[in-house]
A and B are shown apart, each in its own frame.
Chain A
Amino acid sequence: MFHYLLLFCIDKINGQRTIAAIFHLLKGKRSAQTIQDANLYRLTNYFGIYRDLTREAFAKEVENLHQKKWISISDNHVGQITCIGTQILQEKKGHYPLSMYKGTEFVSFLELFRQRLQLWIQTYTNIVADQRKFLAVTDNEKAQKWVKGHYRLHKSQVDNWLAGVYKEMSGFLETVPTFYAQLFVDRLTGYQKVGLTIGQLANKNNVSDHDVRLSLEAIYHQLLQYIEQTKPLYLSDFVPIDHVKKNTFITESATKTFKLMEEGYSIKEITRLRRLKESTIHDHIIEIAYADPQFTIANFVGADDVEKISHAIRNVPNNKLSLIKQELQGNYSYFQIRLVLASSSDLRTRRG
């Protein structure tokens, strides 16, 4: 699956960015550039779905694709899919559950959710068996605190909770392919049950370590979607509620810029106040435009100009900025063009 995912991303980016952009995307790097790329190339669903990926492992797999001649890599580290690669992509279409991922939607709290759930299962199944001593599956203090708090609150209903979570969980697992349900359960640790390691799961299923990690990640994305849709009584409790979805995909720095803009400061003033370069503030504004559909760009580009720029964008393949600028005879800045691109989901999802 990992190879397929890489091919898929390389194909989407289509030679417009270096290979490293994909690494940052999968790691979920919170930089303006990566967030923009994710939006521009319609890869938001894969943002941050492989947070444990290392640079070395990534380079190794890319090299692997290169050797198989599925991709070509130029001297400036830009990857392009080859004919064979395109063929593979076609053949394997639908083989892998890429549609299970909802990257940007869950990236900010998926890990905490996962750790809460796993630690909770370990804790409650041990408590009900009167086993007070066990080595926690996670060191995450937030998760530990949450589970402790949960127990304090529901001490007298441990049985109810176990039955409820069990019922909802099996209900959910029935909806996913057996392979995923089995993987999910094999990984759990609790009373008299020890989860399997990534390596053991890979061996058992005859797939790579990467594929195990990505598949586990996929189930959690699916589970979160299931919870959102069916609003189950027990499992809903595990979803961290203190996150405001809309803002989670904006960098902290952009949030500060946004606040100042709302207070009525101009770009120039913000540049001075925050001691940042103007281009950085521009990046922030574009980031916000991507993340917030309510955001209006009228302060920066007039309605007529939006029309002209949109027109030019439609005329140029691949949304290549320099070509768009040329098309407009240099009458508009890159900032304005990017802004129009960012604010119109209609334009950016169009592929050349």
Chain B
Amino acid sequence: MELEKTLQHYFGFSTFRTGQKEIILDVLAGRNVLAVLPTGSGKSLCYQIPAMERSGVVLVISPLLSLMEDQVKQLKQTGFQQVIAINSFLKNKQAIYPSLDRYKLIYLSPEILQNRELLTQLKYLNISLFVIDEAHCISQWGYEFRPDYLKLRGIIEELGSPPFMALSATATPEVQEDIIAQLNHAPIVKHIYPMDRNNIAFLVEKVSSNQEKDSYLTDLFSQFTVPAMVYFSSKKEAERVAKMLSSELPELQIAYYHGGMDQTDRILIQQQFMEGKLDVICCTSAFGMGIDKSNVRLVVHYHIPIQIESFIQEIGRSGRDGLSSVSILLYTNFDHKIPERLIEGELPDTSVVRPLVSMLQKSVINQSSIKLDENKLIEQFCLSEIQWRFLHFQLEKHGMIKENRILKSRVEYDAIAKKIVCKITERNRYKMKKLNQMLQWVNVDECRRVALYQPFQKTINQPIYFCCDRCGFMLSQWDPVIPKKQSDPKDWKVQLQQLFSQGESQ
């Protein structure tokens, strides 16, 4: 009963959603937990409530900075103040370190955990739970492998092996096994929930050009005015299509959202969408995390995602109220090129490895170690942040870098370069394999629902409304629930009056 009270007090719900309570009870009993819960099932509650209920502090490792910030903000709004997010953007970090025991919930980015000073301070805390959010990042077979996650096992040990919780929304059985292996096969309780959604129908629409995609969308939204999201893999395209649709369909409210916008605007767009002021949102994958809107009816993919897991996450944002919803993927025959380019750009080009390694080697020819100038390297070799994190991790692994100093290595430099190049090739090949799975799904002849969820679970539920185009579903059959549209007053006088809930002005 106590748990429900906390739930009501801080979150305003009277009952838990599927899985939440079972997981929380295991956590409170001090067990290690692996939880795989579909998007939108309230994963974060599973550690937030223990943080509120128990003495000691809960550490949450999450790679998603904006999600971290949003959660801290939301928790503070509910009245829970003892929460903080520590990442590279936080100012005056050092000033906060000595008083970390004031907090009950601390969000940390995996990068910031590499900081020795912080780690030393964390050792003084009474850690009741160590949460690994997005735990699939620990697996080389996960769809978003992050090398820094591999160090978490060592860090947990250094912190005196507190109970841990690995959380993910997308982990195939293969990835689940890998997560457990990476965490030293510690005894663990598994809470795996199916991720198939029986109220979503699937449709793949093959077209021959982007113009056709544009006119398809125009027709679609003039026919169905329902809350909709359109996913893009580029910010520019999201903006372009949002503008195109706005001018074609002036009676609809259409906006775009991507990570390049400033924080105020991002919050405003999120709120407009939540409040039902927007009909269509054109966005990148940055949109959606932490957004809990129950009546999204349509999720369209303008570009094909780079793997099945992202696709499942993104379509999972529709139909949380259980009502009939549709996923549409638009595809042209050259669409595989965009994700291919994205994949190639994610890791450093193999041609930079040898020059970079040899330059580092030359810099320590006369002394045993020198300070590493990251920014200079990043600039000289035109690396992205992610590319550099990858190389940094590899160089560290091969003993060429330690605590931001370049070391003289006993191993042949050539051999190191070769190994790193190998790693890059292997990762790229793996990602291409994932992309191919996604592409195969586009061309599959059998039921799309079965093909999509089969790798993740043994049994797949029967659809409640429609299944997929392969099973005979056509958009013309769809009759979605259309939300009542509240049209906002246009005149500022009326707007102001309503906002302040004042009667007719005297």
Q: Is A200 a contact partner of B502 (Cβ separation < 8 A)?
A: no
A173 / chain B contacts, CB cutoff of 8 Å? 492, 496
Number of contacting residues on A, CB 8 A?
38
B246 / chain A contacts, CB cutoff of 8 Å? 203
> Which of A170, A193, A199 makes the CB contact (< 8 A) with B493?
A170
Q: Is B271 a contact partner of A135 (Cβ separation < 8 A)?
A: yes
CA of A177 to CA of B358 in the docked complex: distance in angstroms?
66
Chain B 475-499 against A: per-residue CB contact (8 Å), 1 yes, 0 no?
Answer: 0000000000000100111011111
Task: Check if B265 is an interface residue, CB within 8 A of chain A.
Answer: yes
Task: Check if A198 is an interface residue, CB within 8 A of chain B.
Answer: yes
Task: Check if A156 is an interface residue, CB within 8 A of chain B.
Answer: no
B74 / chain A contacts, CB cutoff of 8 Å? 135
B269 / chain A contacts, CB cutoff of 8 Å? 197
Quick one: given A182-B492, A186-B492, A200-B255, are A193 and B498 in contact (CB under 8 Å)? yes
Task: Check if A166 is an interface residue, CB within 8 A of chain B.
Answer: yes
> Which of A137, A162, A199 makes the CB contact (< 8 A) with B502?
A162
How many Å from the CB of B69 to the closest CB on chain A?
9
Chain B 71-90 against A: per-residue CB contact (8 Å), 1 yes, 0 no?
Answer: 00110011000000000000
Q: Which chain B residue has the least Cβ–Cβ distance from A52? A: B262
List the one stretch of A18-26, A95-103, A126-134, A273-281 in contact with chain B.
A126-134
Number of contacting residues on B, CB 8 A?
32
Q: Which of B275, B277, B496 has the most chain A CB atoms inside 10 A of its CB?
A: B496
Q: Which chain B residue has the least Cβ–Cβ distance from A184? A: B492
A189 / chain B contacts, CB cutoff of 8 Å? 268, 271
B496 / chain A contacts, CB cutoff of 8 Å? 166, 169-170, 173, 185
B498 / chain A contacts, CB cutoff of 8 Å? 192-193
B501 / chain A contacts, CB cutoff of 8 Å? 125, 128-129, 162, 191
Task: Check if B264 is an interface residue, CB within 8 A of chain A.
Answer: yes
Q: Which chain A residue has the least Cβ–Cβ distance from B266? A: A197
CA of A200 to CA of B275 in the docked complex: distance in angstroms?
16
How many Å from the CB of A91 to the closest CB on chain B?
30
CA of A173 to CA of B263 in the docked complex: distance in angstroms?
28
Task: Check if A260 is an interface residue, CB within 8 A of chain B.
Answer: no
Task: Check if B223 is an interface residue, CB within 8 A of chain A.
Answer: no
B78 / chain A contacts, CB cutoff of 8 Å? 133
Quick one: given A135-B74, A136-B73, A137-B267, are A181 and B492 in contact (CB under 8 Å)? yes
Task: Check if B505 is an interface residue, CB within 8 A of chain A.
Answer: yes
Task: Check if A163 is an interface residue, CB within 8 A of chain B.
Answer: yes
A309 / chain B contacts, CB cutoff of 8 Å? none
Task: Check if A79 is an interface residue, CB within 8 A of chain B.
Answer: no
Chain A residues with a Cβ under 8 A of chain B: 121, 125, 128-129, 133-139, 162-163, 165-166, 169-170, 173, 178, 181-182, 184-186, 188-200, 203
Chain B residues with a Cβ under 8 A of chain A: 12, 73-74, 77-78, 246, 255, 261, 263-265, 267-272, 275, 277, 488, 491-493, 495-502, 505
* Complex A-B, nearest 5 residue pairs according to Cβ-Cβ distance, in ascending order: A185-B492, A166-B500, A197-B265, A194-B271, A194-B272
Would you give 20 A-B contacts (Cβ < 8 Å), ordered by A? A135-B267, A137-B267, A162-B502, A163-B502, A166-B496, A166-B497, A166-B500, A169-B496, A185-B492, A185-B496, A186-B492, A188-B499, A189-B271, A191-B499, A193-B495, A194-B277, A196-B268, A197-B261, A197-B265, A200-B255
